[in-house]
Structure 1
Amino acid sequence: MSFATAHRPSSEERRISPVFWVLLATMGTSGWAVWSGYGSTGFGVFLFVVAGWMVSLCLHEYAHARTALHGGDITVGAKGYLTLNPFKYANSLMSFVLPVVFVVLGGIGLPGGAVFIERHRIHGRLKHSLISAAGPLVNLAFAVVLLVPVGAGWLDAAPGTVSVDTLVGGTETVSVLPAALSFLGVLQVSAALLNLLPVPGLDGYGIIEPWLSLKTRRAVEPFAPYGLMAVFIVLWQSQVNVWFFELVHDIVSAFGVSGDNANLGASLFRFWSN
């Protein structure tokens, strides 16, 4: 019996990493600053959105690992995947750095690479599909948590405000925190939709892959490393980008969140261009 077969995650391997606590504290502190109007509004929104996006990435990958653990891959603990530490991922650049860069450059919640799951330890096609689906479901849940308070108007009276121009030439005062939450919610919805695309290398393909024939899987396998970049290139085309974000904003508006709120959040996020 090998060590990997006998070993099960200990409490140490499940302990939340200080890195994640720092990210969570940064999100909370910057969120308080945005809510209260303390400091630079634009930089506060930027810090809050980036920290929140990083937290969601950690939870996304954790969901994959945790579902895999219950599915039969008991090696995820030894790899550090249960600690919510992004630097323990199989590819920190793809899972953590590039998604943040995509958000800064284009405001796109492009998913990163997944944790490495030893699929041969998991038996049953449904288990494999659930492991792949767990990450996007976290993004959807995160979006609900962010958007429901905004749509319900619970944060409209937040003291941190900014003046924006109106269509009739005047100005109005708008609370900043709902705008920041709306933009972060847009990122979560876009990440979930993109990740659910049946493109090799993304979770959407991972959901359907177990149900495909061996011949089809082998034919598609060489394209897996390029799927993420292909999606990014296609999204860079203006018309596809417009169609995609129309769908994203339609979903966000279903929560009662105005597109103007999300656009204001995106504008404040790019404080360097204002």
Structure 2
Amino acid sequence: MTTATTRPADRRISPVFLGILAMTAVTGWATWTGFAAQPGIAVFLFVTAAWIVSLCLHEYAHARTALHGGDITVGAKGYLTLNPLKYTHALLSIVLPVLFVIMGGIGLPGGAVFIERGRIRGRWRHSLISAAGPLTNVLFAAVCSAPFWLHALDGVPLGFRFALAFLALLQVTAAILNFLPVPGLDGYGVVEPWLSRGIKRQVEPFAPFGLLFVFALLWVPSVNSAFFDVIDTILHALGINPVDQYCGQALYRFWQGADQGCLVSP
């Protein structure tokens, strides 16, 4: 009933997203076949394009859930087209997350679609709208790691295997960071409808700084170590070992020259 109030053009997939998807497919093929003279460049382009695809799907999940929850304005805003240029904060949504991946190999979440919360009725709907984005990262992580936990790696080229491992790492870190109950992140959006008005008023001024707070915490060695211990435990449960992670990140950051020996079959 809700989707009927949006125009077909509001739900048409953007050529921008299709272009990013095509880039993912082409560079994924280049990574699989070893077509590129420098394997690290192919891995870099493939992982970056796939990461942007996941960011678009993350924000689409928020918007689509909000649409069914009662906010019919998301269609007119272009959020259902998967076009990253339609986000309210393209810098926070796309540019910064990509820069953080390049600099530190962390799937840091961004801020993006604006949901008119006044149109949403029911606390469960509000929570589900906030949870929809990071749940997309969970699903993306499951897909990227499927060859590992299904023990279906026979015939998968090493470069592609390592790229999938690094992609899975990014999705797991993004899901965990997004689910933190910190103001400004999706995790807080999940619990916020259940808080008293007094607590929400006290927390509201800190919302714009939540992401910066998380980023600063990750620079604390003890916190960083504990965080990646959790990540390693999850990836191990998914069948991804430390070598897969290291070589995936080393190939992605090919300009550092740390990928030597990663593509040599044992």
TM-score (norm 2): 0.93
Q: CA deviation at 1:152?
A: 2.9
Q: CA deviation at 1:184?
A: 0.5
**Amino acid paired to 1:191:** A
Q: Which residue number corresponds to residue 205 of structure 2?
A: 222
Q: Which residue number corresponds to residue 88 of structure 2?
A: 90
Q: CA deviation at 1:238?
A: 2.1
Q: Which residue number corresponds to residue 210 of structure 1?
A: 193
Q: Which residue number corresponds to residue 98 of structure 2?
A: 100
**Amino acid paired to 1:230:** F
Contact 1:8 1:75 in 2 (8 A): no
- Which shows bigger deviation, 229-238 or 45-54? 229-238
Q: Which residue number corresponds to residue 33 of structure 1?
A: 30
Q: Which residue number corresponds to residue 60 of structure 1?
A: 58
Separation in 2 of the partners of 1:35 and 1:56? 20
Q: Aligned pair 1:271/2:251, yes or no?
A: no
Q: Percent identity?
A: 59
Separation in 2 of the partners of 1:74 and 1:151? 39
Contact 2:90 2:112 in 1 (8 A): no
- What do residues 142-189 of structure 1 show as CA deviations (whole Å, max 9, x unaligned)? 00000011333423423x4xxxxxxxxxxxxxx111110000000000
Q: Aligned pair 1:81/2:107, yes or no?
A: no
Q: Which runs of 5+ in 2 are unaligned?
A: 258-266
Contact 1:234 1:240 in 2 (8 A): yes
Match of 1:260 among 236, 239, 243: 243
Q: CA deviation at 1:95?
A: 0.9
- What do residues 219-249 of structure 1 show as CA deviations (whole Å, max 9, x unaligned)? 1001000000110111122221121111111
SS at match of 2:73: coil
Separation in 1 of the partners of 2:221 and 2:154? 33
Match of 1:11 among 8, 27, 33: 8
Aligned-residue Cα RMSD (Å) equals 1.3
Separation in 2 of the partners of 1:26 and 1:232? 29
Separation in 2 of the partners of 1:251 and 1:114? 27
SS at match of 1:76: helix
Separation in 1 of the partners of 2:84 and 2:73? 17
Separation in 1 of the partners of 2:151 and 2:243? 14
Give the aligned length.
254
Separation in 2 of the partners of 1:100 and 1:156? 31
Separation in 2 of the partners of 1:148 and 1:192? 17
SS at match of 2:239: coil
Q: Which residue number corresponds to residue 264 of structure 2?
A: none
**Amino acid paired to 2:26:** T
Contact 1:156 1:178 in 2 (8 A): no
Separation in 1 of the partners of 2:6 and 2:48? 30
TM-score (norm 1): 0.90
Q: Which residue number corresponds to residue 216 of structure 2?
A: 233
Q: Which runs of 5+ in 1 are unaligned?
A: 161-174
- Which shows bigger deviation, 256-265 or 218-227? 256-265
- What do residues 95-145 of structure 1 show as CA deviations (whole Å, max 9, x unaligned)? 111111111110010000031000000010000000000000000000000
SS at match of 1:201: coil
SS at match of 2:6: coil
Separation in 1 of the partners of 2:214 and 2:193? 22
Separation in 1 of the partners of 2:51 and 2:107? 8
SS at match of 1:73: coil
Separation in 1 of the partners of 2:161 and 2:232? 15
